[in-house]
């Protein structure tokens, strides 16, 4: 196969082969844009190199041929002659892996060619600056020398010359810096810096190949779920120089504002600089608009190119460019990253401009972006805010509270009604109470998979982690910012989990306009973000196949869910209806020693339950409501065994004493696998029957009142069809009794949750007794993995995520291969046994974008999720259908 493609031979659709960078450079070349010439070595060559440890046969010759052509075209020889050609050797995989692999600039410079370059450019400083950059980059990435060594030598040189930045270093100083760099290379590798240009190039190419398998890159791919066998392409590109003086420079640009989506001129420019200087933050950049003043011709040219790119890619593009003595060169482009708000705005702008259709607009936004827009945010425009630092946006939201440095204080202050931000260097399982009590969590160490990040996301709590500029001193209860300010315990902080910013003081929080729109239908006329959301949601609803229901237990939740677009309730948990004042009745039920006692306790609960269901059916009139019979172990309604034992031993409350035997009897080592779900229904006489009766009577009451109830009765934790048969027979008898007594037909349906592996594996049998299945993917994940959900997230999940064992918690996104396989099997077997079987899912996964796609794929009828996630599920169900 062909292993090397000239820029003129490729195009943007060849990302598999040429990587994103190579493919887009080829595309720009084809568009006639000013790209320095070059060629790209394919990912296939990389794969072969990695498999065999040597370059594939023919690569050397093909590279030679392309290099010859490049040299002919440029009229220069690589690193030779009076006007030496220099090139960059650039990595570029199919998926962008920022900072994971490397690029070496100025390949071809050597002791011999540096003088030629200086003479040719008429600029000695420039030549030595380029040479020191080559040795620095080559030393670090190709030779594997610690980059700090070069950095500190550079700093020493700056200090010695009293130079504020490296542009202030003169030719002489740079020349001696090159000597220092060369001796670092000699010292660290035992060899001299290679002087032969082709050797430099070949070594750089190999290093880029090998960087695909570097630890950082592997870990990144595991976490981002990028396959390991793709390999990287290597692009070799003739150098153009932005460090040739004040009429040269380098910059980055966006065709629209990636923050808001508005059209305009966005980017940064740095005169007299090369490559990464512009983003490295070592010198102050100027806004792109200033380029107009500095170099009007290049500026106009750039704007024109930006327009060409937008019209070609039909999307926001980001760009790297360099100006060499007044000539503009394009060095990279790709469809650019953007904020959530910008994604929606850009999609509808392009739709309005007729550049894309509705289907494409829907594809360009994601449920995660929509979810971000539904959090309240800080109004940073309201006042000058005092930014203390920035970390990783680990769990979205806007939290304001007093800084505290340990969990005990967090709990104590929160108990007094104070909002607190828990500030730690990093968190561990001992911090759990504090994390629960805090309004937000801030750490100075750790990434998106650190304990703090994982647990906060699980709790839905705002978290900024890895704010490395903050030096947290938990002993002295304070932290110090990068610029030396000290924040003591009790000071108010505002942390932004969506951007990662940490502010001092109380920043005003504004509610989400998008939520306001979902709640009240307002804003679509005057707010262009809301208008975008509205437009795209309407289209998603039109095209989606998958229904979206809510997990809701109260009429308030049900009403909100309905406003958010729910098409029914997929899970109404009845356990909440047994708490509060009703706890006494449940206690009586549990403590009953005779049938009469038990029946009295159930009889007292019946009207209350009936009332709950009547209200819920009213709120969801005309839509299905799936009511799950009591699921949790009974001891959850009783006091804790240890606490009660202590009270009994130390006090003399007769009630406590009466409770103790029951609490002891019901105590379980592993309650999640104990007496719960259908097992309760089979063991506690009359319990499920009472619930069924309450549902049936409530439905009948609603009918009588002119309503249209659609109740579905759901049996939890079934493992075998025999369990279901017994409960079903009893339920049917009870429903028949109510129907007879009320003289109506209720047409209630009876189904089961599929949340145990055995249920999934015997779904064909179970379907014989079920009108519907609802996959309880939370319990199914627990039981398939053997993970206790209440424990593992806080204990070892961050380690698992860091090791890349999974990229995301299986409780967050469905594990397709394991849990998902069971869902698929059960859905298929269930439908085979009973073609009209209704299938849904009611675990947290129902509101998770990736999981929604999976459920669509396996043919479920609906997903059910918490009310707040409903818009996300609707949007993703629409995307899944396009």
- Please state the residue numbers annotated as binding site for Mg(2+): 755, 779
Of the residues 80, 332, 532, 700, which one makes contact with ligand ADP according to CB under 6 A: 332
Binding residues: 573, 628, 755, 776-779
Q: Which is nearest to 235 in space by CA: 58, 43, 68? A: 43
* In the complex, least distance from residue 768 CB atom to ligand ADP, rounded to whole angstroms: 58
Q: List the x/- string, 80-119, binding to ligand ADP by CB under 6 A.
A: --------x-x------------x-x--------------
**Size of interface with ligand ADP, in residues (CB under 6 A):** 15
**Binding string to ligand ADP for residues 380 to 419, with x set by CB under 6 A, is what?**
----------------------------------------
Structure tokens, 526: 């005057």
State yes or no: residue 332 binds Mg ion (CB under 5 A).
yes
Residue of 237, 317, 842, 865 with catalytic role: 842
Quick one: which segment of 148-156, 180-188, 231-239, 804-812 binds ligand ADP (CB under 6 A)? Answer: 231-239
Token representation of residue 740: 């007879």
- Which is nearer to Mg ion, 43 or 781 (by Cβ)? 781
Radius of gyration of the chain, Cα coordinates, nearest whole angstrom: 33
Cβ-contact 233, 817 below 8 angstroms: no
Catalytic residue from among 451, 635, 845, 853:
451
Nearer Cβ to ligand ADP (17/331): 331
Q: Which is nearer to ligand ADP, 323 or 394 (CB)?
A: 323
Write out the binding residues for ligand ADP, residues 21-80 only, by CB under 6 A: 36
Give which of ligand ADP, Mg ion, none residue 331 binds (C-beta under 5 to 8 Å, depending on kind).
ligand ADP
> CB of 224: closest distance to ligand ADP in angstroms?
16
Distance CA 94, CA 4 (A): 16
Q: Where are the alpha helices (DSSP H) in 705-788?
A: 721-742, 757-761, 763-767, 777-785
Q: Does 779 bind Mg ion (CB under 5 A)?
A: yes
Q: What sign does the CA torsion over 465, 466, 472, 478 have?
A: negative
Binding-site partner at residue 105 among Mg ion, ligand ADP, none, CB < 5 to 8 Å by type = ligand ADP
The nearer residue to ligand ADP, 323 or 398, going by C-beta atoms, is 323
Calculate the alpha carbon distances from 133 to 36, 121, 150, 762 in Å: 20, 17, 10, 66
The encoded tokens of residue 308 equal 């060409």
Of 251 and 681, CB closest to ligand ADP:
251
Residue in this structure with the two tokens 């070799």, named with its chain if needed: 236
Among ligand ADP, Mg ion, none, what does residue 587 contact (CB within 5–8 Å per kind)? none
Beta bridge partners of 495: 399, 502
Answer yes or no: are the C-beta atoms of 666 and 676 closer than 8 Å: no
| One residue of 154, 230, 237, 410 binding ligand ADP per CB under 6 A | 237
End-to-end CA distance of the chain: 35
CA 22/CA 59 separation, integer angstroms: 17
Q: CB–CB of 466/392 below 8 Å?
A: yes
Spatial distance between the Cα atoms of 29 and 35, rounded to a whole number of angstroms? 6
Where b means 16+ CB within 10 Å and e means fewer, 129-157 reads: bbbbbbbbbbbbbbbebeeebbeebbeeb
Listing from the earlier edge strand, what are the strands of the sheet with 4-6?
4-6, 38-41, 232-238, 87-93, 103-107
Q: Minimum distance between the CB of residue 193 and ligand ADP, rounded to whole angstroms?
A: 20
Catalytic-residue membership of 317: no
Which residues, 6+ apart, have CB-to-CB distance to 50 below 8 Å? 209, 210, 212, 213, 231
The correct pick among 113, 322, 765, 813 for binding ligand ADP (CB under 6 A) is 322
Give the residue from 203, 215, 213, 299 showing the smallest Cα distance to 249. Answer: 299
Per the annotation, the verdict on 842 as an active-site residue is yes
Binding window for ligand ADP (CB under 6 A); candidates: 234-242, 302-310, 522-530, 825-833: 234-242
| Minimum CB distance to ligand ADP smaller for 211 or for 691 | 211
| Residue ranges in 178-217 that form contacts with Mg ion under rule CB under 5 A | none
Residue 234 Cβ, how far from ligand ADP at the closest point, in Å? 10
CA atoms within 13 A on the CB side of 833: 18
Q: Using CB under 5 A, which residues numbered 759 to 778 contact Mg ion? A: 776
DSSP state for residue 574 in the 8-state scheme: S
Stretch that binds ligand ADP, among 233-241, 726-734, 766-774, 874-882 (CB under 6 A): 233-241
Q: Which ranges of 31-76 would DSSP assign to H, the alpha helix? A: 43-52, 59-74
Q: Pairing state of beta strands 327-335 and 547-551?
A: unpaired
Scanning 238-246, 661-669, 803-811, 842-850 for contacts with ligand ADP by CB under 6 A, the matching segment is 238-246
Q: State which residue, 104 or 116, has the beta carbon closest to ligand ADP.
A: 104
DSSP per-residue codes, 21-40: HHHHHHHHHHTT-----EEE
What residues are labeled active site? 451, 842
Interacting residues toward ligand ADP by CB under 6 A: 36, 88, 90, 103, 105, 237-240, 275-276, 320, 322, 331-332
Interacting residues toward Mg ion by CB under 5 A: 332, 755, 776, 779
């Amino acid at each position: 196969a062909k292993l090397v493609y000239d820029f003129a031979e490729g195009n943007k659709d060849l990302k598999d082969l040429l990587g994103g960078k190579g493919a887009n450079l080829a595309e720009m070349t084809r568009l006639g844009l000013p790209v320095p010439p070059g060629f790209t070595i394919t990912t296939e060559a990389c794969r072969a190199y990695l498999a065999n440890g040597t370059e594939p046969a023919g690569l050397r010759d093909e590279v030679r041929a392309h290099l010859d052509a490049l040299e002919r075209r440029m009229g220069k020889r690589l690193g030779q002659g009076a006007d030496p050609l220099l090139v960059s050797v650039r990595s570029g995989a199919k998926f962008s892996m920022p900072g994971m692999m490397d690029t070496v600039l100025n390949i071809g410079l050597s002791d011999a060619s540096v003088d030629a370059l200086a003479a040719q450019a008429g600029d000695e400083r420039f030549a030595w600056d380029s040479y020191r950059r080559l040795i620095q980059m080559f030393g670090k990435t190709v030779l594997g020398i610690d980059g700090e060594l070069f950095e500190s030598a550079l700093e020493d040189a700056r200090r010695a010359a009293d130079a504020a930045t490296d542009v202030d270093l003169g030719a002489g100083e740079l020349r001696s810096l090159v000597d220092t760099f060369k001796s670092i290379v000699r010292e660290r590798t035992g060899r001299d810096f290679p002087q032969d240009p082709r050797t430099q190039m070949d070594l750089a190419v190999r290093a880029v190949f090998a960087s695909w398998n570097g630890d950082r890159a592997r870990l990144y791919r595991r976490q981002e779920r990028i396959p390991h066998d793709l390999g990287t392409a290597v692009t070799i590109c003739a150098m153009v120089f932005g460090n040739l003086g004040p009429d040269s420079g380098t910059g980055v640009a966006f065709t629209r504002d990636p923050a808001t989506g508005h059209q305009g001129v966005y980017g940064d420019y740095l005169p007299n600089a090369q490559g990464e200087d512009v983003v490295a933050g070592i010198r102050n950049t100027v806004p792109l608009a200033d380029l107009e003043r500095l170099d009007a011709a290049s500026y106009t040219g750039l704007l024109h190119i930006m327009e060409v790119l937008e019209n070609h890619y039909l999307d926001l593009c980001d760009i790297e460019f360099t100006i060499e003595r007044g000539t503009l060169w394009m060095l990279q482009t790709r469809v650019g990253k953007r904020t959530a708000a910008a994604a929606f705005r850009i999609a509808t702008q392009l739709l309005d401009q007729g550049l894309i259709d509705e289907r494409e607009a829907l594809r360009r936004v994601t449920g995660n972006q929509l979810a971000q827009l539904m959090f309240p945010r800080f109004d940073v425009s309201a006042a000058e805010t005092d930014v203390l630092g920035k970390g990783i946006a680990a769990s979205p939201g806007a939290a304001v509270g007093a800084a505290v440095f340990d969990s005990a204080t967090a709990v104590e202050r929160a108990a007094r009604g104070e909002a607190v931000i828990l500030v730690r260097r990093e968190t561990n399982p001992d911090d759990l109470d504090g994390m629960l009590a805090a309004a937000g969590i801030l750490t100075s160490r750790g990434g998106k998979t650190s304990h703090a990040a994982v647990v906060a996301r699980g709790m839905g709590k705002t978290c900024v982690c890895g704010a490395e500029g903050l030096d947290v001193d938990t002993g002295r209860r304070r932290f110090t910012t990068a610029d030396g300010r000290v924040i003591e315990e009790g000071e108010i902080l505002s942390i932004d989990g969506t951007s990662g910013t940490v502010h001092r003081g109380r920043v005003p929080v504004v509610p989400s306009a998008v939520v306001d729109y979902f709640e009240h239908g307002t804003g679509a006329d005057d707010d262009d973000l809301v208008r975008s959301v509205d437009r795209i949601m309407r289209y998603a609803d039109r095209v989606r196949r998958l229904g979206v229901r809510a997990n809701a237990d109260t009429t308030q939740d049900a009403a909100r869910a309905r406003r958010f677009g729910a098409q029914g309730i997929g899970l109404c948990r009845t356990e909440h209806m047994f708490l509060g004042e009703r706890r006494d009745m449940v206690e009586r039920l549990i403590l009953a020693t005779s049938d009469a006692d038990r029946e009295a306790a159930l009889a007292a609960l019946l009207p209350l339950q009936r009332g709950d269901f009547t209200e819920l059916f009213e709120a969801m009139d005309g839509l299905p409501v799936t009511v799950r019979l009591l699921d949790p172990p009974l001891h959850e309604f009783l006091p804790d065994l240890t606490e009660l034992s202590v009270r009994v031993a130390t006090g003399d409350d007769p009630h406590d004493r009466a409770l103790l035997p029951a609490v002891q009897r019901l105590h379980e080592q592993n309650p999640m696998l104990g007496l719960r779900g259908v097992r309760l229904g089979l063991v506690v006489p009359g319990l499920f029957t009472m619930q069924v009766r309450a549902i049936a009577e409530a439905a009948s009451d609603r009918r009588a009142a002119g309503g249209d109830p659609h109740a579905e009765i759901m049996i939890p934790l079934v493992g075998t069809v025999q369990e279901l048969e017994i409960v079903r027979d009893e339920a049917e008898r009870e429903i028949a009794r109510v129907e007879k007594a009320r003289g109506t037909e209720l047409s209630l349906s009876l189904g089961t949750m599929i949340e145990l592996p055995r249920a999934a594996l015997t779904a064909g049998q179970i379907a014989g007794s079920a009108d519907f299945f609802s996959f309880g993917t939370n319990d199914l994940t627990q039981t398939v993995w053997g993970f206790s959900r209440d424990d593992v997230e806080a204990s070892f999940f961050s380690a698992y995520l860091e090791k890349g064992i999974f990229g995301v918690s299986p409780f967050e996104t469905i594990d397709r291969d394991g849990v998902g396989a069971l869902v698929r099997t059960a859905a298929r077997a269930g439908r085979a046994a009973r073609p009209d079987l209704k299938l849904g899912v009611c675990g947290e996964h129902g509101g998770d974008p990736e999981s929604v796609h999976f459920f669509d794929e396996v043919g479920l009828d609906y997903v059910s999720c918490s009310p707040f996630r409903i818009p996300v599920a609707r949007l993703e169900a629409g995307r899944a259908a396009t």
